[in-house]
Structure 1
Amino acid sequence: MYDLILKNGTLINEGQIFESDIAIKGNRIEKIASSIDAESKSIVDLNGKYVIPGLIDDQVHFREPGLTHKGEIATESTAGLAGGVTSYFEMPNVNPTTTTNENLTKKFQLASTKSVSNYSFHLGASNTNIEEIKKADIHQAAGLKVFMGASTGHMLVDDLDALDDIFHYSPLIVVTHCEDQKTVERNEQLFHEKYGEGVSPEHHHLIRDVESCYISSSLAVGLAKKYDADLHVFHLTTEKEMELFSAGEADQKKITAEVCVHHMYFNNSYYAELGNQIKCNPSIKQESDRQALIKALLENKIDIIATDHAPHTWEEKSRAYIEAPAGLPLVQHGLQILMDLYHQDVLSLETIVEKTSHNIAKRFQVKDRGYIREGYYADLAILDHEKPYEVSKDNILYKCGWSPFEGHSFKSSIFMTIVNGNIAFQDGMVSKNLPFGMQIEFDR
């Protein structure tokens, strides 16, 4: 007796596309076969819909504790379900910051009673917490987040001695936000002198420019090579930075790279229409940069795709450019963005799956997730790839209540999301009385 059988799915997994049934018992996949005819508490006929591993988003800001007017673990993990995200790694720039192991443990305790999907958290670095970093439990934290550029929560690490120690001693994968703060501040001064109060979102990519990114990312790569450290560089945005990274398998490299969905979708021409809605750090840059990021992804220089989901209230985003915070909500729509790129023949289904689930599991050594395999947790996203989906106020699940995609019609819909064997989202509706997600385990 199974708990759930999915019939007639089109599975995309480990570089293959094939027709199959899936049988689930408890929270795990029990059987994968061309035809499963057995008793089950529930049977769903997928009629050929695409079945992929649930997304593991390794870079989200859910804003709890301390910034819950923007988002909460409960609301944002729920929004993720509607986007096929079954697991996430969340960021340390909350209040209080997750720069101690005690605060990290408290966040895990918080998520255990709030998150409807599976969770882990990055420990945060500062200029002064190297002793906390040395004591980090490699089986608990996903990685060590280093803001080598300004961040919410005053977590900028700009002391070169501190960076040396971090790359030398961190027992965790070092994951970085790379922008050179001095370059950014110099550009801000130049644009303020030239435009005064007229500095606008259309200047954002020129203030947080290519050089600011390259200086910082090349420093990170240099330090990783110096200390033979594990480095993963988040949200790359420039063509120039691609020369810093090598092609290869994600689990065979000590230095890996990531791109976010918005940097693959938007270019600087969108600032005129969307303004602060797409103000983010590092910035959305030129079309040539966007194309270079996609090329590097296809060449396996870039290993992972994430969202960097970063909600702010509409009131905050409506302020003047200088005062508006950076970041945009994306966890509900990231997979649909990628599917639009699939429909444009930019990305293959196999590539989307590799970069949003397999490679995160490989790089961070996630236990029993990230693949459709017998014995693995039943974390699945099911796509109706031919059913359009229009974003509207009525179906946005972010606590902030807005999206830069409002009014946009994506070419594909998320039909169902399964977390630990439970149908968590189906046909536009989040399931009621969902069990909480599980803390992600690591094989390290």
Structure 2
Amino acid sequence: MLARLSRKRILLGVTGGIAAYKCAELIRRLRDAGAEVQVIMTAAAQEFITPLTLQALSGNTVHTDLLDPEAEAAMGHIELARWADLLLIAPASADTIARLCQGVANDLLTTCWLACGARKAIAPAMNQQMWLDPATQNNMITLQAREVAIFGPDSGLQACGDVGAGRLLDPLDIVARCAEQFANGALTGRHVVINAGPTREALDPVRYMSNHSSGKMGFALAEACAEAGASVTLIAGPVVLPTPDRVQRIDVVSARDMQSACEQAVDAALAAVGAANSVFIATAAVADYRPAQVAEQKIKKGDKSDEMTLTLVKNPDIVAGIAARSERPLVMGFAAETQAVEAYAQAKLARKKLDLIACNDVSRADIGFQSDDNAMIVFWPTPLSPADDAAGDAALSDAQHAGLGRADLAKASKPQIARQIVTLLAARLAARDEYTL
């Protein structure tokens, strides 16, 4: 399970309390599990353990000041917040927990907490009576409602001599809880190739044919796969998006460029980890056709006609070509439709012999090409189980009648949708592994 922490970025907040000394071992254990650790210390924490100690253990400069001139020249607190896969505060004092609930941002740690969109967790540590106080208990309810993971506390003899709940969990237990935060869609040991964005087909040196794809869904999937431990190669059409961390990016323009790059990347994945551990995800909106001829000079507007005729030829079908290989990765396609979404997706799944297909209705402005949100239905081939067969036709869904599994992913941000898709991918890979044993 600790392998899930491989290449994860843990931002550790250390607050004031005698339990702060345990963070030295916590950092060492996190790094042993393959995580990268950066540390933020409050002023009170520095009274119990020095920044130099945690810097030596983490291998990174310890952050202490919100208004550090050098760091803030590059908006240091925002960069730290964006860097993290998990923001963990351990130990989390009663005072810090109260400030988190109130949205206070008067030091580096609480500011990063508000600015961080990653998973968040706290490991409380305080006197047993402080832990039992109604104010603290109400604060814990508030944080749980905000989906903050709570690690502990443990019970036992405390430094003050009291006995009861409030002890910081053992560092090894905290590391295990951190690993649990990355439980969904573990792809450690897999190599994923993803194409994303539009392609452009030149008409002349100035003009081209393209579509409205933003690439956001594919880039979110690349990030989610990397987060789940996979090696990721991203083949990107012309988009204005930053490369996700820990992802190898290859930029292309035309459909034929993308086909060549995808085939080479899949070949490399198969050579590196084998077909059983390779995945190809085709999210790109590849142009179906291209001009039969590309003008060498800019086409001038004619004075005698209001019409212009273009002859188009069909582009290669990238995903179908990879799915048709004798040695092939697990292949997932995408169907962006404006009508009969499910029917078209199911037909494409069968026709192209895909392992999964995700479909969405791009006619909806709230989940269309340029939107930051999405809602998808995922289908995959699966035989009827004995229970389904015994249930009779009336009890079966349309997808089950067609021999398909189905997952409905409700509207959410594209990164959240991507993490759900990664979970489905991991399940299909595990099913394939079991079938081939």
* TM-score after normalising by structure 1: 0.26
Structure number with greater CO (CA < 8 Å, separation at least 6) is 1
Point out the structure with the larger helix share. 2
**Structure 2 length as normaliser, TM-score?**
0.27
Between structure 1 and structure 2, the one with the greater Rg is 2
